[in-house]
């Protein structure tokens, strides 16, 4: 019992020292090559493909296949189906990874339009009557926070099924 108390005391006293190493040193200089302040993504002028890599590929992967293990749906060959059901167009802008991205409204509209090309992520899932997103539309939709992502997505998937759309997004539901 004494050894447990002693061990607990040692851990409690040494913890602040371990945490102190995580506190940045304000006098520390930048790593070589990082002396300049980073340009915000919204001002950097990156291509749409680079913006995809920076904003989307971390979860949806570089080719849009997603990862069921990480609860990230496939976009490749599927994402255009959202445009076939009421609320789906709005959903694509309001997904937190989109609406809260560092991209400005014009960049986000460009990214969505890039994803939704038939020769892009959407592939054959694109509806024939697709109208490209505009920065004004993105600005209006982005301002409305989505409070229930899984519930909203689930209702859209249900609407797709009701239209006979095959659900092939890798999420197995």
DSSP 51-113: HHHHHTHHHH-TTS--BGGGTB---TTTGGGGGGSTTHHHHHHHSHHHHTSSS-HHHHHHHHH
- 125 in a structural domain: yes
Confidence of residue 112 (pLDDT cuts 50, 70, 90): very high
- 74 in a structural domain: yes
Question: What is the number of residues in the chain?
Answer: 173
**pLDDT tens for each residue of 1-57:** 777 787 776 666 665 555 555 666 777 777 777 777 778 888 888 899 998 998 888
Q: Residue 152 pLDDT > 60, yes or no?
A: yes
- 25 in a structural domain: no
Q: What average pLDDT score do residues 120-146 get? A: 93
- 149 in a structural domain: yes
The CA angle 76-67-150, to the nearest 5 degrees, is 90
Predicted TM-score (pTM) of this structure: 0.76
The pLDDT value given to residue 140: 96
Q: Residue 120 pLDDT > 90, yes or no?
A: no
Confidence of residue 154 (pLDDT cuts 50, 70, 90): very high
Calpha distance 118→127 (Å, rounded): 9
The pLDDT value given to residue 18: 54
- 85 in a structural domain: yes
Q: What share of the chain has pLDDT > 70, as a percent?
A: 88
The pLDDT value given to residue 78: 92
Assign residue 103 the CATH number of its domain: 1.10.760.10
The pLDDT value given to residue 17: 56
The pLDDT value given to residue 108: 96
The pLDDT value given to residue 58: 87
Tell me the residue range of the domain where 142 lies: 47-173
Calpha distance 168→173 (Å, rounded): 9
- 163 in a structural domain: yes
> Can you give 7-32 as a three-state secondary structure string?
HHHHHHHHHHHHHHCCCCCCCCCCCC
Task: For residue 149, count other CB atoms closer than 10 A to its CB.
Answer: 13
Structural domain count of the chain: 1
Calpha distance 75→65 (Å, rounded): 6
* Residues 6 or more apart whose Cβ sits within 8 Å of residue 63: 76
The pLDDT value given to residue 85: 96
The pLDDT value given to residue 11: 65
In the 8-state DSSP scheme, what is residue 117? S
- 51 in a structural domain: yes
The pair of three-digit structure tokens given for residue 12, joined into one six-digit string: 């409690």
Q: How far apart are the first and last CA of the chain?
A: 52
**Please, what is the average pLDDT of the chain?**
86
31 strand-pairing partners: none
- 1 in a structural domain: no
């Amino acid at each position: 019992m004494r050894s447990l108390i002693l061990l607990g005391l040692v851990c409690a006293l040494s913890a602040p020292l371990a945490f102190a190493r995580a506190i940045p040193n304000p006098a520390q200089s930048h790593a070589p090559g990082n002396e300049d302040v980073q340009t915000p993504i919204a001002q950097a002028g990156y291509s749409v493909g680079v913006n995809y890599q920076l904003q989307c590929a971390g979860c949806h992967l570089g080719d849009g296949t997603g990862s069921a293990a990480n609860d990230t749906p496939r976009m490749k060959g599927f994402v255009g189906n959202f445009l076939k059901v009421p609320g789906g167009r709005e959903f694509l802008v309001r997904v937190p990874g989109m609406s809260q991205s560092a991209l400005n409204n014009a960049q986000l509209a460009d990214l969505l339009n890039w994803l939704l090309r038939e020769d892009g992520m959407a592939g054959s899932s694109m509806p024939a009557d697709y109208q490209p997103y505009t920065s004004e539309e993105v600005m209006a939709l982005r301002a409305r926070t989505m409070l229930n992502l899984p519930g909203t997505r689930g209702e859209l998937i249900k609407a797709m099924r009701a239209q006979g759309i095959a659900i092939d997004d890798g999420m197995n539901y």
